[in-house]
Amino acid sequence: TQLLEQSPQFLSIQEGENLTVYCNSSSVFSSLQWYRQEPGEGPVLLVTVVTGGEVKKLKRLTFQFGDARKDSSLHITAAQPGDTGLYLCAGPEGNQFYFGTGTSLTVIP
């Protein structure tokens, strides 16, 4: 089993603040993904990063893949209440996806 540890586990911030979520592993992954899960729904893919050092931007969200392909970060600028949800990193390998421990984000209006 390839373990992906996320930090922080919980995050509660005011609207307009910035935040960063981390995803770390001792294993090398060919790619890492970030999903967002809203209450009562399944996770939905936000982004896939495939190259060590890669940075991808999705509006106010910035994703980075570590140079050694063992870690990733998600930075949100000027958080909005609509960003509230559970953020999961995942490493797709072979016939399965290894999911991180999750970060529950609450953005307070």
Partner 1 sequence: DTAVSQTPKYLVTQMGNDKSIKCEQNLGHDTMYWYKQDSKKFLKIMFSYNNKELIINETVPNRFSPKSPDKAHLNLHINSLELGDSAVYFCASSRPGTGNTEAFFGQGTRLTVV
- Smallest separation (angstroms) from partner 1 to the CB of 97: 5
Q: Are 23 and 73 in contact (CB under 8 A)?
A: yes
CA distance 21 to 36: 12
- Smallest separation (angstroms) from partner 1 to the CB of 80: 21
Residue nearer to partner 1 on the CB measure, 94 or 109: 94
Residue nearer to partner 1 on the CB measure, 3 or 108: 3
CA distance 3 to 87: 16
Greatest C-alpha distance within the chain = 41
Q: Are 73 and 25 in contact (CB under 8 A)?
A: no
- Smallest separation (angstroms) from partner 1 to the CB of 101: 6
What pairs with residue 99 in β-bridges?
A: 90
Residue nearer to partner 1 on the CB measure, 47 or 79: 47
Tell which residue, 48, 44, 46, has the closest CA to residue 91: 48
Residue nearer to partner 1 on the CB measure, 45 or 55: 45
- Smallest separation (angstroms) from partner 1 to the CB of 32: 10
Residues that bind partner 1 (CB under 8 A): 30-31, 33, 35, 37, 40-45, 48, 50, 86, 88, 90, 92-99, 101-102, 104
